[in-house]
Amino acid sequence: MEEKRFKNRRDAGMQLARHLKEYRERPDVLVLALPRGGVPVGFEVAHALDAPLDVFVVRKLGVPGHEELAMGAVASGGVRVLNEEILAALDIEEETLARVAAEEERELARRERTYRGERSMPEIRDHTIILVDDGLATGSTMKAAATALRSEDPKRIVAAVPVAAAEACDALRAEVDEIICVLTPQPFFAIGLWYEEFVQTTDEEVRRLLAEARSPA
């Protein structure tokens, strides 16, 4: 296995930003980070590009008992993306899928209130959206985000991550205009293996980074 490439999510964001230099100081660029883990990464990307930062809330639909395995995802705007291969291979019943989706949709609504408060979603139409997460394993979360955003008529959607499974990148190409990834290791195993520090990002850290990004200083 290759050596770990990122100290933490902030370091990963700084490395990722170097691959996005063409988008620096462009008035149409908006960085949308997928909470929670994508926010520290997105914060550094937005800072380096001198672009605004906000969040786009997406929740993975984990297989019961194997929650790290995504059978789909839900996103703001009522979008649901399903991994039909996983559903078929594991013979997931519709009742099980509906229960998990309902739970995650409640959590999605809670997070939107927690992170954004009374602030409205930023303008998407005619903007170049850089969607940032801390990595891609299956790509379901990023796919759900891209699908939801596409309905808002952005100029361009760029998926940007520090590390990804090559298969996830391939599956996502049809959903976005560009994919930027620093590292696509083979074998991939898991996102956290490519970070020295991969502790869970808290709601408080998300709120703090969003507030810091909005600060004129």
pLDDT in tens, 85-124: 999 999 999 999 999 999 999 999 898 889 988 888 889 9
* d(C-alpha 73, C-alpha 112), whole Å: 16
Question: Of all residues in the chain, what percent carry a pLDDT higher than 70?
Answer: 98
Question: What was the pLDDT predicted at 91?
Answer: 94
Question: What was the pLDDT predicted at 20?
Answer: 98
Q: Residue 173 half-sphere exposure, CB side, CA atoms within 13 Å?
A: 6
**pLDDT band at residue 18 under the 50/70/90 scheme:** very high
Question: What was the pLDDT predicted at 58?
Answer: 87
Residues 121/54, Cβ–Cβ less than 8 Å: yes
* d(C-alpha 143, C-alpha 207), whole Å: 24
Task: Please identify which residue in the block is written with the tokens 């930027």.
Answer: 180
Asked if pLDDT for residue 30 goes beyond 80, the answer is yes
- Token readout for 96 is 């099980």
9-58+118-214 folds as Rossmann fold (3.40.50)
Q: Which amino acid is at 22?
A: E
Question: What was the pLDDT predicted at 3?
Answer: 60
**pLDDT band at residue 33 under the 50/70/90 scheme:** very high
Q: If you ran DSSP here, which 8-state letter would residue 38 be given?
A: H
pLDDT in tens, 61-76: 999 998 878 898 888 7
Question: What was the pLDDT predicted at 2?
Answer: 55
Question: The dihedral of CA 139, 145, 147, 149: what is its sign?
Answer: negative
The residue count of the chain comes to 217
User: How far from 217 is each of 19, 46, 214, CA to CA, in Å?
Assistant: 25, 14, 9
**pLDDT band at residue 158 under the 50/70/90 scheme:** very high
Task: Please identify which residue in the block is written with the tokens 């979603």.
Answer: 121
Residue with the larger pLDDT of the pair 14 and 72:
14
pTM: 0.85
